[in-house]
Chain A
Amino acid sequence: MNSTIRELLSKHGGLPIAVDKLADADDLYEAGLSSFASVQLMLALEEEFDVEFPENLLNRKSFSSIVSIADALSQITDDRQVA
């Protein structure tokens, strides 16, 4: 999952540095992720993983690192399996 996130981050994140220079836990906002880019990334993730981010995950924290994006995505897919 993390490699797909990295790929989309590289395409939509608009970061001033190369994504492979970032560790999974690095703060993406500190790396230059703008709120506009985070929405574009979110849309790309929704399309790629065929999910919809629920209201409780639509916040700054969910997009603060590759790890937290992966966590948010697993949370959504887990919920879907339960339902």
Chain B
Amino acid sequence: MNIAGPVSAMTLAERARRAAKVAAEFADQVDTEGRFPREGMDALKAERLMGVMIRPELGGEAASMTEIADLCAILGQACASTAMTYAMHQIQIASLADYAVGSAWHEAFLKRICDEQLLIASATSEAGIGGNLRNSICAVDLDGETARLEKNATVISYGAMADAIIVTSRRNADAPHSDQIATLFLKEQYSLERTSVWDTLGMRGTCSDGYIFKAEAPAEQILPKPFAEIAAQSMLAVSHLLWGALWYGIAADAVARSQAFVKAAARKSPGQTPPGALRLAEASNLLQQVKANVVAGLKQFEAAKGDADALNAMSFSVAMNNIKVGTSQMILTIINHCMLICGIAAYKNGTPFSLGRHLRDAHSAQLMISNDRILGNTSTMLLVNKQDTSLLG
């Protein structure tokens, strides 16, 4: 790999575009082989983009969530598996950077992430919890200063490639399922015994295999804040926003491909509007709605950031849930429009207008945190939440 030019003189977006170029080159191969997007992730590390959200005194660049979302959108246009791996890593960084403040161990680790460009995974899913990440069956076993944990993790995205994994569990063996903590375990502190293989329709490069996770680490590696707080104030909102941004990226690339198709058709028959032109206008209209949805959500998140009351407000959760459900549904409609525009050239693999990978990757969006579950939660909140009817509020 040849990464030219000094990293520090360029903007985050410029650096992400260089990494995206590498990721795009291998996107089809990653998808076909269902393998980790190594080249794209290595390029992101070479661009020093792994720890940019971390504060400068620990080696980061204090990038905002809006900036990170922009990077996810850039990557989403190149390779959705690279973009999703990067987004999931940043969700973990956001939790660590904001909810382990003052913990010497975690702050030293944040510095290591920047210095060594480490990749952080998470293990929230567990066999038997019914897909609700706010429930755990496994519990940390505290023996003096040592924390031991065994988890039947049904999914750990890029688990085998990560340098560390943040694992949720019950606080102790007597705690209720919802009384959770999160512990950061380093690669050398855990073993992974693979129980299932990620052979999926799309997002094939995230390698979200299932594992029996067994670990032992000093108790100081437990995050100081309860997981309930981290999930409510950071993880859910950040996930919805960063995923929304990269989903926008997938759809944006599909629209770009269909625009190129329509343009080529127009050039071939001057004076005639190609049949797909009108549908392209529709796709462009829908894409703008996805973009506006994500951007409005980022604005709301940045305004609430650091204010626990605002982040805990029901209206905030409702808004973030709506972004997730709205964007995940809309991108499918958009890509389907693009398929109709490009026809067989989209349906077929290996053409400049191929959209099979986009369509399959995009289908994950409704399922990763099921839209039905989210709509269920939203409908509960709407029993008491007061609707804000203002345009700008």
Name the residue on A nearest B316 (C-beta): A59
Q: Which of B113-121, B325-333, B379-387 contacts A (4 or more CB under 8 A)?
A: B379-387
A-facing residues in B354-393 (Cβ within 8 Å): 377, 380-381, 383-386, 388
Best-buried of A15, A30, A61 by chain B (most CB within 10 Å) = A30
Number of interface residues of A (CB under 8 A): 23
The answer to whether A59 and B309 have CB atoms under 8 Å apart is yes
B319 interfacial contact with A, CB 8 Å: no
Per-residue contact bits, chain A 9-46, to B (CB 8 Å; 1 contact, 0 not): 00000011100000000000111111110010011001
Pick from B134, B309, B384: contact of A39, CB under 8 Å: B384
In the complex, A55 has a CB within 8 A of chain B:
yes
Against A, the Cβ 8 Å flags (1 = close, 0 = not) of B232-246 are 100000000000000
Give the chain A neighbours of B265 by CB distance below 8 A. none
B313 within 8 A of A: yes
In the complex, what residues of A have CB within 8 A of residue B308's CB? 61
Chain A contacts of B226 at CB under 8 A?
A: 29-30
Task: Tell me how far the C-beta of A65 lies from the nearest C-beta in chain B, rounded to whole angstroms.
Answer: 14
Q: In the bound complex, do residue B228 and residue A39 qualify as a contact, i.e. CB atoms below 8 Å apart?
A: no
Flag whether A60 is at the interface (Cβ < 8 A).
yes
Q: How far is the CA of A35 from the CA of B381 in the complex (A)?
A: 9
- Find out whether the CB atom of A35 lies under 8 angstroms from the CB atom of B313: no
* Alpha-carbon distance between A11 and B57 when the two chains are bound, in angstroms: 50
A83 to B131, CA, bound (A): 46
Whether B314 lies near A32 (C-beta < 8 A) is no
> B155-191, CB under 8 A of A: which get 1 and which 0?
0000000000000000100011111000000000000
Q: How far is the CB of B140 from chain A (nearest CB, A)?
A: 15
Q: Find A29's partner among B179, B381, B388 (CB 8 Å cutoff).
A: B179
Number of chain B interface residues as a range: 20 to 34
A30 with B179, Cβ < 8 A, contacts A39-B383, A58-B384 known: yes
Contact call A60/B312, Cβ cutoff below 8 A: yes
Which residues on the B side are within 8 Å of A32 (C-beta)? 176-179
- Report yes or no: A59 in contact with B383, Cβ–Cβ below 8 A: no
Instruction: State how many angstroms separate the Cβ of B236 from the closest Cβ of chain A.
Output: 11
**In the docked arrangement, what's the CA distance between A43 and B384, Å?**
7
* CB neighbours of A46 from chain B (8 A): 384
A33 CB, nearest partner CB in chain B, Å: 8
A34 engages B383 (CB within 8 Å): no
Q: Is the CB of A59 within 8 A of B384?
A: no
Contact B314 A29 (CB under 8 A): no
For B134, list chain A residues within 8 Å (CB). Answer: 34-35
Least CB distance from B19 to A in Å reads 37
User: B176 contacts which chain A residues (CB < 8 A)?
Assistant: 15-17, 30-32
Distance to closest chain A CB from B362 (angstroms): 29
What residues of chain A lie closer than 8 Å to B381, measured between beta carbons?
Answer: 35, 39
Asked if residues B312 and A61 are in contact (CB atoms below 8 Å), the reply is yes
Q: B residues within 8 A CB of A42? A: 384
Residues in A neighbouring B178, C-beta threshold 8 A: 29, 32-34
CA of A46 to CA of B385 in the docked complex: distance in angstroms?
13
- Chain B residues with CB below 8 A from A59, complex form: 309, 312-314
Q: In the bound complex, do residue B386 and residue A58 qualify as a contact, i.e. CB atoms below 8 Å apart?
A: yes
With both chains docked as a complex, state the minimum distance between the C-beta of A40 and any C-beta of chain B, in angstroms. 8
Q: Can you give 24 A-B contacts (C-beta < 8 A)? A: A29-B178, A29-B179, A30-B171, A30-B175, A30-B176, A31-B176, A31-B179, A32-B176, A33-B178, A34-B178, A35-B380, A35-B381, A36-B377, A39-B383, A55-B313, A55-B314, A55-B385, A56-B309, A56-B313, A58-B313, A58-B314, A59-B312, A60-B232, A60-B312
